[in-house]
Structure 1
Amino acid sequence: MLRLLICALCTIATASAFNLAVYSPPRSFCNVCMATGLKTGDMVTVISGADKGSVGKILSLDRKAGKVIVEGVNIRSKHVKPRKEGETGQILKREMPVHISNVAFDSEATDPVVEVNE
């Protein structure tokens, strides 16, 4: 309730004799709760970017940042330095977050195929 009140107050244009600039809050502040039906475990298709057309399962979902981590999509190399003496460095492959607008729910992957006998 308080968040809605703050967002409503942020959208009101405020101007004074000394400050004629109109205040607008950051985009991420007002769009905290993105209206998506996605949840962890859903199958999605990447619709934009380098991995366009890839299908994968949602591993984690960050609604505040508006990002999802999809299995096997947007894989990047992370260089890890040795922590202990005698340990060697590593290069790990990890899935990195993708913006939620770049994925779409894949109903074909989750629904079982039903054959009709005639």
Structure 2
Amino acid sequence: MSKLKIKKNDMVLVIAGNSKDRKSNGKYPAPHKVLKVLVDEQRAIVEGVNMVSKSTKPSAKNPQGGIVKQEAPIHISNLSLVDPKTGEPTRIAVKRTDDGKKVRIAKKSGEEIK
């Protein structure tokens, strides 16, 4: 199993699947925030992406019950990290700094990803 390069709170674009972000006028759409990464399944839950309807029974939290919309996991391969400098999708490189820490770097701009 390979190490995942997408982490919680990263900004990503969906590049494949039913929830694919489409280009409009040559610009990329607004990126989405990663809420949770499921490492063992190589999937991530992304805000506003891959929405599914789920039936819920009445409970203290939701006394009415009914149908609730929520995000379902999407495979990591269908996501692309957004370059912090340009706002375009980019690949990721991992490099070591002088003090030995590993940092993620955007391939397009060379910018460090926080």
Q: TM-score, normalised by structure 2?
A: 0.59
Q: Structure 2 unaligned runs (5+)?
A: 22-28, 88-114
Structure showing the higher helix proportion among its residues: 1
Q: CA RMSD in A?
A: 2.0
Which one-letter code corresponds to 1:91 in the other structure? I
CA-to-aligned-CA distance 1:21-76 (integer Å, 9 cap, x gap): xxxxxxxxxx2xx3232110111111111111163110000111100001110011
In 2, Cα distance between equivalents of 1:48 and 1:112: 21
Which of 91, 97, 107 aligns to 2:67? It is 91
In 2, Cα distance between equivalents of 1:37 and 1:65: 14
In 2, Cα distance between equivalents of 1:36 and 1:50: 22
3-state secondary structure, aligned to 1:41: coil
1:41 aligns with 2:15: no
Question: How many aligned positions are there?
Answer: 77
* Deviation >6 Å, runs of 4+: none
3-state secondary structure, aligned to 2:77: helix
Q: Structure 1 unaligned runs (5+)?
A: 1-30, 114-118
Q: TM-score, normalised by structure 1?
A: 0.58
Shift of 1:92: 1.0
Larger radius of gyration: 1
In 2, Cα distance between equivalents of 1:35 and 1:88: 42
In 2, Cα distance between equivalents of 1:79 and 1:96: 14
Q: What is the 5 A alignment of 1:1-118?
A: 31=1, 34-53=2-21, 55-83=31-59, 87-107=63-83, 110-111=84-85
